[in-house]
Chains A and B, each alone.
Chain A
């Protein structure tokens, strides 16, 4: 197995008491697979991704990538955040070169960075500053930057969550093409059912309080996905039913909290 997550637990210390955020997470991801992690806010899906990235440590359990335990960030795992997190003091090209500079010459890095900028269709924006381009373009630069390291695993934490509908659906196409072209393994966190249906090979549906895996749904449809809209609809209903009780749980807790004040 490419990525294995075994009996993972994560708790945070909150006001002196320990709070369980992720409980008994088991997940195997095959190489070249697009896996979405879907769940309501507060289910710990971003924490899970952050643990895979090596930015947060797990409380219990272990994660292995190609047989090696994950103990911190590494260049075999690229990450795209909800905000583009581009460095404003660098140009678009320099931002994409950033992860490459420690390991290769400036010239090589520039060549490689240009290649990935062309892949996200931003080849003509190399000399712009991040603040001169739109949010959707910034996110594409961030994707190019993550790809530039040529990571085995691409981690994406609600990368299109802050974008408008039109931009998002354009970026879905770009991402799907990149996935087909580069055959990267992608772990994609989202709270949008439609988004996960459009992009994934498998959807990991998570429940909340504490975060657990409710179900894993296989989607065996040909790519690109835009053709199989009808069939996907039945899956949407299934996931919605799964998540309904979770959202009720959150609402109930909020009301209880309000009543106790």
Chain B
């Protein structure tokens, strides 16, 4: 049987079981609404455009934050890869910050920027910058020395050696960094919106929760999940696999 067929059967069974269980045990919709209610809520959200509005607001922040993070991440990554002193000092701080979920910066961010969009974007930037920095640094450090030697015998040095050999040779790591930066940014954004100001998917989720509308809460959760899957699986993982194969780094 095709994996896709197996998967469809699995999800149909899962939703049937869920729907059945809610009816049989008469679960209160305040605890767990039936999947049919969730889909109705999802449909309503799209037909009255509130969810589209939220999606637009969230994506705007995400792309703004991600763009700033990628720029910063590339600059910092190059700095750490090229300067031993920077790597030993700033590098250790960046590695240490990696273990701190970016959302814990929100209280400070709210004090600095106010309870608004800027604070949320700050959280997104922080979450994505660190992982991008680490990947760019690793990518540059892992450029095969043979490539550099070969280019030197062809009279490439200095900035030209860096832009024509080092940078393209580290693209596989940059792509992985981009994929992880997106994932970190998406999670940071949802957390930030949940705890701060609207509009946005995270904010609407909390708003629905305040009014006990659990069908809408789950509808938004499904939406968050779908966007994560679509971007990661259908876009980033494909690009990553293609690049790894071309660069001769794929294991299959």
On A, residues with C-beta under 8 Å from B are 53-55, 73-75, 77-79, 81, 83, 85, 87-89, 98-99, 102, 129-131, 145-146, 149, 155
Besides A88-B248, A149-B155, 6 more A-B contacts (Cβ < 8 Å) are A73-B155, A83-B146, A85-B146, A89-B169, A102-B156, A131-B248
A89: contacting residue among B144, B154, B247, CB under 8 A: B247
B contact residues around A131 at 8 Å (CB): 245-246, 248
Tell me what chain B mostly uses at the interface: helix, strand, loop, or mixed: helix
B247 close to A53 (CB less than 8 A):
no
Q: How far is the CA of A79 from the CA of B160 in the complex (A)?
A: 19
Q: How far is the CA of A102 from the CA of B200 in the complex (A)?
A: 50
- Would A89 and B168 be within 8 Å (CB), given that A81-B146, A131-B245 are in contact? yes
One digit per residue, 1 when the CB lies within 8 angstroms of any chain A CB and 0 when it does not, for chain B 190-205 equals 0000000000000000
Q: How far is the CA of A67 from the CA of B221 in the complex (A)?
A: 75
Q: How far is the CA of A211 from the CA of B153 in the complex (A)?
A: 24
B150 close to A89 (CB less than 8 A):
no
B153: contacting residue among A79, A83, A88, CB under 8 A: A79
Q: In chain B, what residue has the closest Cβ to A148?
A: B154
Q: How far is the CA of A99 from the CA of B164 in the complex (A)?
A: 11
One digit per residue, 1 when the CB lies within 8 angstroms of any chain A CB and 0 when it does not, for chain B 171-195 equals 1000000000000000000000000
A75: contacting residue among B146, B147, B149, B155, CB under 8 A: B155
A89 close to B149 (CB less than 8 A):
no
Q: How far is the CA of A53 from the CA of B155 in the complex (A)?
A: 11
B contact residues around A145 at 8 Å (CB): 154
B147 close to A74 (CB less than 8 A):
no
B contact residues around A79 at 8 Å (CB): 149-150, 153
- Would A89 and B171 be within 8 Å (CB), given that A77-B153, A98-B154, A99-B154 are in contact? yes
Q: In chain B, what residue has the closest Cβ to A142?
A: B150
A187 to chain B, nearest CB (A): 13
A75 close to B248 (CB less than 8 A):
no
A55: contacting residue among B152, B160, B164, B246, CB under 8 A: B152
A53 close to B168 (CB less than 8 A):
no
Q: Considering only CB atoms and an 8 Å cut-off, how many residues of chain B contact the other chain?
A: 21
**B165 interfacial contact with A, CB 8 Å:** yes
Q: How far is the CA of A174 from the CA of B156 in the complex (A)?
A: 28
On B, residues with C-beta under 8 Å from A are 144, 146-147, 149-156, 160, 164-165, 168-169, 171, 245-248
B contact residues around A78 at 8 Å (CB): 153-154
- 27 A–B contacts from the bound complex (CB under 8 Å): A54-B152, A55-B152, A73-B152, A73-B153, A73-B155, A77-B153, A78-B153, A79-B149, A79-B150, A79-B153, A81-B149, A83-B146, A85-B147, A85-B149, A87-B165, A87-B168, A89-B247, A99-B154, A99-B155, A102-B156, A102-B160, A129-B246, A131-B245, A131-B246, A131-B248, A146-B153, A149-B155
Q: In chain A, what residue has the closest Cβ to B154?
A: A99
A87 close to B147 (CB less than 8 A):
yes
A248 to chain B, nearest CB (A): 33
B contact residues around A146 at 8 Å (CB): 153
Question: Most A CB atoms within 10 A — which of B149, B150, B248?
Answer: B150
Q: In chain A, what residue has the closest Cβ to B250?
A: A131
B contact residues around A55 at 8 Å (CB): 149, 152-153
A contact residues around B245 at 8 Å (CB): 131
Q: How far is the CA of A53 from the CA of B169 in the complex (A)?
A: 23
B contact residues around A54 at 8 Å (CB): 152-153
A contact residues around B165 at 8 Å (CB): 87
Q: How far is the CA of A85 from the CA of B248 in the complex (A)?
A: 12
B156 close to A53 (CB less than 8 A):
no
A75 close to B154 (CB less than 8 A):
yes
Q: How far is the CA of A129 from the CA of B242 in the complex (A)?
A: 13
A88 close to B155 (CB less than 8 A):
no
Q: How far is the CA of A221 from the CA of B58 in the complex (A)?
A: 78
Q: In chain B, what residue has the closest Cβ to A130?
A: B248
B contact residues around A53 at 8 Å (CB): 153
A149 close to B154 (CB less than 8 A):
yes
A-B pairs with the 3 shortest C-beta distances? A99-B154, A85-B150, A79-B153
B contact residues around A98 at 8 Å (CB): 151, 154, 164
B251 to chain A, nearest CB (A): 14
Question: Most A CB atoms within 10 A — which of B144, B149, B171?
Answer: B149
Question: Most B CB atoms within 10 A — which of A73, A98, A99, A131?
Answer: A73
